[in-house]
Structure 1
């Protein structure tokens, strides 16, 4: 077994194990709040708190199952699309969480308090375990997903950009780039589309900047792949950047769009996001569409590359075989 494959297998087990504390903490919150022994989070009613944490428990279960599918024999037998989609969405979530968690840990250390230490409803040890779960899952998937793809589809990332014919730039690249520019504009302090500037904090700036950067990266990679230039550039780094960037666009906005719609419709008095609800909903819906279309473009571009490099045998080939 190659060294890379061994590292990927160990990383998959590590990712599954890292997410267990997060799932157990979320279960304890749901059970404790229903039993009346743990408080409900600030700004939430009982039903909202239970539904939100139940959803995150389900997401954690899917993450653990995904990590095990990347290493266990049965993961090679299940259909490819569910594994690819789950890995794509999971990578999209974690690519922004990882830098954010590191930033939060550094800021907590500088401030002299641990993660969650300022929140009386979350002890510091719980906040630390939650951050470690995300960090472990993210780092584990970063190694386990490429190793799994290499085992199941050995030629998935081979070749160079010039192997595929040039095609027109898809609308998704333009749409995703526009969304990324707006997010970076906000991260740099822009106020157009911001309803409550005073509500912007360091966490909001970091997440907005990360989302905008990945959106622009995905748009640039999608354009590069469809133009098949520069021809000598290996396809692997371009596909990886496009995979991560499009996943970030889709995953985060697929989660934030319903939340923004709820805020716009219900106007809860204890929830005051910095963005104007209409602007936030519009951007997130555009990001979901752009991310999904970019993934489709990446997959189709890869298929065209194989078709271009390996054309079907013609009559001359058959004649040569008969001779």
Structure 2
């Protein structure tokens, strides 16, 4: 933890640098530029201008928010912020960026020695755009994750190491059991797609989301049934990351087709996949509630006893 605290300035600088490519592209597109957009792309269709302006503006603000979060996790004024005001956007950022990092790494590993697929006849964006953007997102995930770990350990480390009493654990236990059901639905759906039972998204995305569902459900169950004991911090991390990933991407996959933006290249998810995405969205807040209940109580002080007790 001390090493992470010393690395905070470097991690903050890395986060800011990693945001620059995406912010630059979004600013250029918002201003009407066409850098990285090939001729014939659906993004250049006349009817898409208004929608793309709204999407570019929203995603520009989202990545600018990462800059603010990095500064809040590094500067002294960030310690004075109310916990919900800081943790809520960090939870969303963790959910969006973490799966991108894992999927990018898996894609890179699986592509070693494999034949590259033929490019589409009407490419959406130039290939270098995806490389630059996803590399930037991956660096953001790594650097922001390090900053978050250092911040949480410094501000709430005692609560992560401790735990409530058995009576206080009754609430988290019920929430944890409730979280397992939608997490199991999401896990089954993504695992089936990853094994070839469904189509639509890359295998790596399905594998990552199945792992997120497993992590969220298992972590919440571990904390709910046994709030104290070994592997507590690992369960906290798994519940946080898994629940955030499920909620953030479940909401994204449900909302994007409703916008009818050019980024929604398909007709939208089927009824079964809407159910799976809704299960993801439900799992996220329930697992977050488990975390809030488990970490709400300060650890019980150790009472001195007689020798040999």
Q: TM-score range by the shorter chain?
A: 0.7 to 0.9
Give the one of 255, 262, 270 matched to 1:258: 255
Give TM-score scaled by structure 2 length.
0.81
SS in 2 for 1:271: coil
How far is the alpha carbon of 1:78 from its aligned partner?
Answer: 2.0
What is the aligned partner in structure 1 of residue 190 from structure 2?
183
Alpha carbons 2:18, 2:137 under 8 Å: kept: yes
- Structure 2 stretches lacking a partner, 5+ long: 303-309
1:112 is displaced (CA, Å) by 8.3
The structure-2 alpha-carbon separation of the partners of 1:208 and 1:274, relative to structure 1 and needing over 3 Å to count, comes to farther
CA distance in 2, matches of 1:260, 1:73: 41
Query: CA, structure 1 residues 161+221, in 2 after alignment: closer, same or farther (shift >3 Å)?
Result: farther
Tell me by how many angstroms 1:103 deviates: 3.6
**Does 1:238 find its partner at 2:248?**
no
Gaps of 5+ in 1: 192-196, 312-323
Distance in 2 between residues matched to 1:78 and 1:162, nearest whole Å: 28
Q: 1:133 to 1:80 in 2, by over 3 A?
A: same
Higher Cα radius of gyration = 1
Q: Could you tell me which residue of structure 1 aligns to residue 154 of structure 2?
A: 151
Match of 1:88 in 2: 91
CA RMSD of aligned residues (A): 3.4
Does the CA-based 8 Å contact 1:161-1:228 persist in structure 2? no
* 8 Å Cα contact 2:38-2:126 kept in structure 1: no
**Alignment partner of 2:288 out of 291, 295, 300:** 295
Asked if the contact 2:18/2:140 (under 8 Å) is kept, the reply is yes
1:27-176 matched pairs, under 5 angstroms: 27-33=27-33, 41-42=41-42, 45-105=48-108, 110=113, 122-159=125-162, 165=169, 167-168=173-174, 169-176=176-183
The alignment of Structure 1 onto Structure 2 pairs a total of residues equal to: 292
Aligned counterpart, 2:202:
204
Q: Does 1:217 align with 2:215?
A: yes
Counterparts in 2 of 1:117 and 1:10: CA distance versus 1, 3 Å = farther
1:316 aligned residue: none
Range 3-12 or range 93-102, more displaced: 3-12
Higher mean C-alpha deviation, range 204-213 or range 122-131? 122-131
Partner of 2:276: 283
Over 3 Å counting, the alpha-carbon distance change for 1:275 and 1:120 in structure 2 is: closer
Q: Distance in 2 between matches of 1:153 and 1:213?
A: 27
* Distance in structure 1 (CA, Å) of the matches to 2:100 and 2:273: 20
CA contact (8 A) 1:222 1:242 kept: yes
8 Å Cα contact 2:38-2:125 kept in structure 1: no
User: Where does residue 271 of structure 1 map in the other structure?
Assistant: 265
Q: Partner residue of 1:315?
A: none
